[in-house]
Amino acid sequence: EVQLQQSGAELVKPGASVKLSCKTSGYTFSNYYMSWLKQMPGQNIEWIGNIYGGNGGTGYNQKFKGKATLTVDKSSSTAYMDLSSLTSEDSAVYFCAMGGYWGQGTLVTVSS
C-alpha cells in the first residue's frame, strides 16, 4: 500500500525557514516524481514544484522559485521541501503528492 506520511504542524516566526518532510512507502521511490502543493483557505490549490526520486531533478512553478527548495533522500525514500524567508503569505497547508496519492498535509503557521 502506497503511503505518504508528512511531518507535523509547524509554528515559525517571520523571516525564518522551515523544512517539511514526506516519508514514503509501498512503491519504488526512485521511479516517480513527487509534487508539492500549497493550499490556503478560500484559495485555489497551487502546484509548487516536483522532484524526481531517481536523480533529484526538479521543476518549479515560477512563483515559488527562491521560496521553495525540493530535495530527496533516496536511502530513506523521503522527500523534503525547504521554505525560506517566511511571511504570513506562506501560512498554509502543504501537501506532497505522487500520482493519485497524497500525504495528509502539514500546516505551517507563520506568526511572531
Partner 1 sequence: DIQMTQSPSFLSATVGDRVTINCKASQNINKYLNWYQQKLGEAPKRLIYNTNSLQTGIPSRFSGSGSGTDYTLTISSLQPEDVATYFCLQHNSGYTFGAGTKLELK
Does 3 bind partner 1 (CB under 8 A)? Our answer is no
Shortest spacing between CB 104 and partner 1, in angstroms = 6
Shortest spacing between CB 68 and partner 1, in angstroms = 14
- List, in order, residues 6 or more apart from 34 with CB less than 8 Å away: 22, 24, 50, 51, 53, 70, 72, 79, 96, 97, 98
Q: Return the residues of window 28-87 that contact partner 1 according to CB under 8 A.
A: 35, 44-47, 61
93 alpha carbon, distance to own chain's centre: 10
Does 27 bind partner 1 (CB under 8 A)? Our answer is no
Gap between the Cα atoms of 36 and 49, Å rounded: 6
Of 32 and 95, nearer to partner 1 (C-beta) is 95
